[in-house]
Amino acid sequence: MSIKGCAPGWVARCPKCPYQVDLESLGWTRIGAYSWGKRHSVHCPDCNRTRWMRILHVDENGEPDQPFGLVLRKVLGLQLLIWCGVLFVLALIAVVGMAVVKML
Ligand SMILES: [Zn+2]
């Protein structure tokens, strides 16, 4: 089952022929996703084989619009957010621990 708007702009491209398929029609969900160099096995009806297709986000002209630098910045930004959260929780535990030690 495919729902419109679950993978907007995402396509799979066959490496051996010009075949390209909309990932929404395959039932994929990729909302707000970023990837570079992703591949997945998808059946190509033109080659009549399952191929290791490139998974790409394309703009309205069909050109890939997620270069390596953009994906790297998104990944590092997310990592920064996660590690800041971890450090915040550790600092909170340390402060509470110190307060408990002082009370004893
Ligand atoms: Zn093909």
Cα distance between residue 98 and residue 22, in whole Å: 56
Tens-digit pLDDT string for the chain (104 aa): 556 789 999 999 999 999 999 999 999 999 999 999 999 999 999 999 999 999 999 999 999 999 999 999 999 999 999 999 999 999 999 999 999 999 88
pLDDT for 5:
81
pLDDT for 9:
93
- Evaluate whether 24 touches 8 at the Cβ level (below 8 Å): yes
| Residue 14 CA to ligand 1 centre (angstroms) | 5
| Residue 46 CA to ligand 1 centre (angstroms) | 5
CB neighbour burial string for 60-76, b if at least 16 within 10 angstroms, e if fewer: eeeeeebeeeebeebee
| Residue 12 CA to ligand 1 centre (angstroms) | 10
Cα distance between residue 66 and residue 4, in whole Å: 21
pLDDT for 3:
62
| Residue 66 CA to ligand 1 centre (angstroms) | 23
Q: What is the pTM of this model?
A: 0.76
Q: Where are the domains of the chain?
A: 1-66, 67-104
